[in-house]
Structure 1
Amino acid sequence: MIVVIGLGYVGLPLAVLFSKHYSVCGFDLNKERITSLNYGEDKISGIKKDQLVNNEHLVFTSNLENIPAAKVFIITVETPVDKENVPDLTAIKKASIMIGSLINKEAVVIYESTVFPGTTEDVCIPLLEKHSGLQLNKDFSVGYSPERINPGDKLNKLESIKKITSGSSPSSAKYINDLYSRIIDAGTYSASSIKVAEAAKITENIQRDTNIALINELSIIYNLLGIDTEDVLLAAETKWNFHSYRPGLVGGHCIGVDPYYLAYKAKQLGYIPELIDTSRKLNNGMPKFISSELIKKMVINDIPIQSSKVLILGFTFKEDCSDIRNSKVHDLVESLREYKLKVDIYDPIADAICVKDAYNIVLIDEPNFDFYDAIILAVGHSFFKSLSIEKIRSYGRKNCIVYDLKYIYDKSETDIRL
Structure 2
Amino acid sequence: MKIVVIGLGYVGLPLAVQLAKHFDTVGLDSNAARIAELRDGHDRTGEVDAAALAACGLALTSDAADCSGADLYIVTVPTPIDADNRPDLSPVRSATRTVAALLDAAKTPTVVYESTVYPGVTEDICGPMIEDLSGLVRGRDFFLGYSPERINPGDREHTVDKIMKVLAGENDQVTELLATVYGKVTSGGVFRARSIRAAEAAKVIENAQRDINIAFINEVTKIFSALDISVWDVLDAARTKWNFLPFEPGLVGGHCIGVDPYYLSHRAQELGIDPQVVLSGRAINDGMAQWMADGIHAALGKPGADILILGLTFKENVPDLRNSKVIDLVQALRGHGHSVAVHDPHADPAEARHEYGLDLASMPGEPTYDCVIGAVRHEAFRTLSGADLAAILRPGGLVADIKRMWPAPAADAASTHRYWSI
TM-score of the two chains, using structure 1 as the length reference: 0.96
Contact 2:18 2:185 in 1 (8 A): yes
Bigger mean CA offset, 115-124 vs 66-75:
66-75
Structure 1 residues 123-134: aligned runs within 5 Å: 123-134=125-136
Checking the alignment, whether the CA contact within 8 Å between 2:68 and 2:104 is kept in structure 1 is: no
Unmatched 5+ residue regions in structure 2?
411-417
Pick from 285, 289, 303: which aligns with 1:305? Answer: 303
Shift of 1:277: 0.8
Mean Cα deviation higher: 59-68 or 6-15: 59-68
Q: CA deviation at 1:54?
A: 5.0
**Identity within the alignment, %:** 42
1:240-389 equivalences in 2 (<5 Å)? 240-299=242-301, 304-306=302-304, 308-389=305-386
SS at match of 1:398: strand
Indicate if the aligned counterparts of 1:12 and 1:45 stay in contact, CA closer than 8 A.
no
d(CA) in 1 for partners of 2:409, 2:196 = 52
Amino acid at match of 1:278: S
Task: Report the residue type matching 2:45 in the other structure.
Answer: I
The correspondence for 1:416, drawn from 402, 414, 420, is: 420
Give 1:372 deviation, angstroms: 1.0
Structure 1 residue 66: deviation in Å?
Answer: 1.9
State the Cα deviation string for residues 94-138 of structure 1 (Å, max 9, x = none).
211221121123201100000000100110000111222222222
Instruction: Trace 1:64-83 onto structure 2 (pairs within 5 A).
Output: 64-83=64-83
Residue of structure 1 equivalent to 2:231: 229
Look up the equivalent residue of 1:254 and give its one-letter code. Answer: C
Give the aligned partner of residue 185 of structure 1. Answer: 187
Q: Tell whether the 8 Å contact from 1:8 to 1:45 is kept in structure 2 after alignment.
A: no
What CA deviation, in whole Å up to 9, does each residue of 1:286-336 have, x standing for no partner?
11001100111111xxxx412x10011111100111111000111100111
Q: Which runs of 5+ in 1 are unaligned?
A: none
Q: In 2 relative to 1, CA 384–257 (structure 1 residues): closer, same or farther, beyond 3 Å?
A: same
Shift of residue 68, structure 1, vs aligned partner: 4.1
- Segment of structure 1 superposing worse, 361-370 or 246-255: 361-370
Q: What is the alpha-carbon distance in structure 2 between the residues aligned to residue 154 and residue 213 of structure 1? A: 26
1:131-187: CA deviations, max 9, x gaps?
Answer: 222222222211100000000112221111111010000110111111100011111
Any conservation in 2 of the 1:13–1:45 contact (CA below 8 Å)?
Answer: no
TM superposition shift of 1:46 = 3.4
AA matched with 1:138: R
Aligned equivalents of 1:261 and 1:67: distance in 2? 30
Asked if the contact 2:46–2:318 (Cα under 8 Å) also holds between the matched residues in 1, the reply is: no
Question: How much has 1:50 moved relative to structure 2?
Answer: 3.1
Distance in 1, Cα, partners of 2:178 & 2:137: 19
- Count of equivalent residues: 412
Greater alpha carbon shift after TM alignment, 75-84 vs 89-98: 89-98
Q: Is the 8 A contact 2:307 2:371 kept in 1?
A: yes
TM-score (normalizing by structure 2):
0.95
Q: In structure 2, the residue corresponding to 1:74 is in which secondary structure? A: strand
SS at match of 2:185: coil
Aligned counterparts, 1:86-235, within 5 A: 86-105=86-105, 106-235=108-237
